[in-house]
Amino acid sequence: MAPSTSPTAAVLLIGDELLSGKVRDENGHALATWLRRRGIRLLEISVVGDAPDEIAAAFLRLCARAPLVFTSGGVGPTHDDRTLASIAAATGRPLVRHPEMEAQLRAYYGERITEAALHMADVPEGTQLRAMPGWPVLRLDLPQARAYILPGVPSLLRAKLEHLEAIDGEVPHSDGWHLAVLYTNLDESKLATHLDAIVAAHPDIDVGSYPRWSRGADGRIHMHVRVTLEAPRAHAALVDAARDRLAAALPPGSVLEHEPPV
């Protein structure tokens, strides 16, 4: 099977609160599921604090790894919102005040506008505004990658992703993946050799093994394993054949018709 030609992306989550546990991350999962639905393979999610040098280093590393990079957090008006300045420094672009963003801020705050609020309109030179009306997604086209700078508030991030998706041709997509699933009561230690054989025979199929435990009618705890096999949709027949091959190789009675309730 030919290697996947699915577009790829990386995600950078920014904020000390994520590393300290003060805030539970929602945005990484939201981006992962959104990218998956569009047929974009997510290569990495990286989490860094608010230190500018760490933001800059992580951003450049991810831009070198994937042609699409999404950042979340650190774009507000307070002292720890350092994403835009860090990206500007990393890319060698000056911060410039975007007139359209400034106008939006002045319209929103009116007489309450402060210089701190206006700092949110200071963006790396060359930044484009996307997913408007409302607060925009910031797009920065670099030689090696396209970056989308998103807010950290989960509800706002999800709304901006929907707006991005509505712009024809803005974010790439592919046909996505075909998923086949097999459930077994075989212990993972006994399942491993069978999975190794499938992986060796089909190196371009993503194979996952996920153990779970449930209580049976006898009151005892039983383990079962959910095995997933996945590849680009164009190779659906090969994925299904690999699942069938795995099922045939397992001992009689070890393949379950469905996943037991947890």
Answer for the pair 41, 123: CB distance below 8 angstroms, yes or no: no
Q: What pTM value is reported for the model?
A: 0.88
Give per-residue pLDDT as tens, 68-83.
Answer: 999 999 998 888 899 9
Angle of helix 154-165 relative to helix 27-37, nearest 10 degrees? 20
Q: Rounded mean pLDDT of the chain? A: 93
In the prediction, which pLDDT does 104 show?
92
CA dist 71 and 60 (Å) reads 12
Domains of the chain are: 8-165 (3.40.980.10), 177-256 (3.30.70.120)
6 pLDDT above the threshold of 90: no
CA dist 118 and 140 (Å) reads 20
